[in-house]
Amino acid sequence: MARILIVDDSPADLKFLETALQSARHQVTALNDPAQVEAVADQVRPELLMVDVVMPGRNGYEVVRGLRKQPGMEALKVVFVSSKGNETDVKWGLRQGADDYLVKPYTPEQLMTVVQKLVG
């Protein structure tokens, strides 16, 4: 069981992630506002961050850069979850510090494979 923070501006995508991860017995905190990430991460101390790339106000890359500056977050595993799925998007996401990249739409099985690989 891992502590996982998910951030997405889409309520449907948040619910899908939350349901799939909780069914695998992970402790999930869901946020739809990327501006709250640092404060919530400081309280929750997640082992894995799953974050959408395209969000209003603050994109996923900015979220990851902000979190990486926080003490204790250097080892945080990151997965970008995005509909931006061409090869250059995925490569760019990995270069921005992601450990993996999940392209929407995805199946619960694909999600669990990525999570298992990163946090067991």
Under a CB-based contact definition with an 8 Å cutoff, are residues 62 and 45 in contact? no
Q: How many angstroms separate the CA atoms of 35 and 32, rounded? A: 9
The neighbouring-strand residues paired with 51 are: 7, 80
Under a CB-based contact definition with an 8 Å cutoff, are residues 31 and 7 in contact? yes
User: What mean pLDDT comes out for the span 67-88?
Assistant: 93
Whether domain 3-119 has CATH 3.40.50.2300: the reply is yes
Average pLDDT, the chain: 95
pLDDT digits (tens, 9 = 90+) for 92-113: 999 998 999 999 999 999 999 9
Q: How many angstroms separate the CA atoms of 18 and 62, rounded? A: 22
Q: At what angle do helices 11-23 and 108-119 cross, to 10 degrees?
A: 60
The residues near 54 (Cβ < 8 Å, ≥ 6 apart) are 60, 82, 83, 84
Task: Judge whether residue 74 has pLDDT over 90.
Answer: no
